[in-house]
Amino acid sequence: MKKLVVFTVLMSLMLTAFEWNSKSTDKGVDFKEVSFEQALKLASESEKYVFMDAYASWCGPCKMMDRNTFSKSEVGEAFNEHFVSIKVDMEKGEGPTLARKYHVRAYPTTFILNSKGEVQKRIVGYRGPEEMLKELAEFIK
């Protein structure tokens, strides 16, 4: 019985370590956990655009984009090279202010912004990986 308990604990630890390791090496979009103003500053310093995912926690298509689009390595490679990417919950924190400023009326809405916060492109609704890359082709050169 003691061996079974030890075996179970070791297997749990190994599976947890494997799961943590696989998440840390994910090649999807690297969303920065920074404020909107910090994202603009990072974009200015790195000469990139800001990609802003305006979402709501209850939004099914937003969750689908996280799962099906933003997690894909080909999307991550393109985004991470050309954008400072942020996710903003439009119902929390600075989200409501940004929702008013950028006239967000549906979810998901994604934006390409220059480092001054000016809209370069607005995309409303779900996009799969290929569709998203096509939408943003002019910014991913």
What pLDDT, on a 0 to 100 scale, did the predictor assign at position 2? 60
Catalytic pick from 29, 50, 62, 65? Answer: 62
d(CA 8, CA 3): 9
Largest separation between any pair of C-alpha atoms in the chain: 65
Catalytic residue among 59, 75, 84, 90: 59
Return the pLDDT at 7. 46
C-alpha 113/C-alpha 52 separation (Å) is 8
Q: What's the pLDDT at 25?
A: 52
- CA–CA separation, 95 and 91 (whole Å): 6
Rg, Å, the chain Cα set: 18
91 is catalytic: no
pLDDT of residue 17: 43
Report helix, strand or coil for 24: helix
Q: Which residues of the chain have pLDDT under 70?
A: 1-26
Measured in whole angstroms, the distance separating CA 10 from the mean position of its chain's CA atoms is: 34
Q: Is 113 known to be catalytic?
A: no
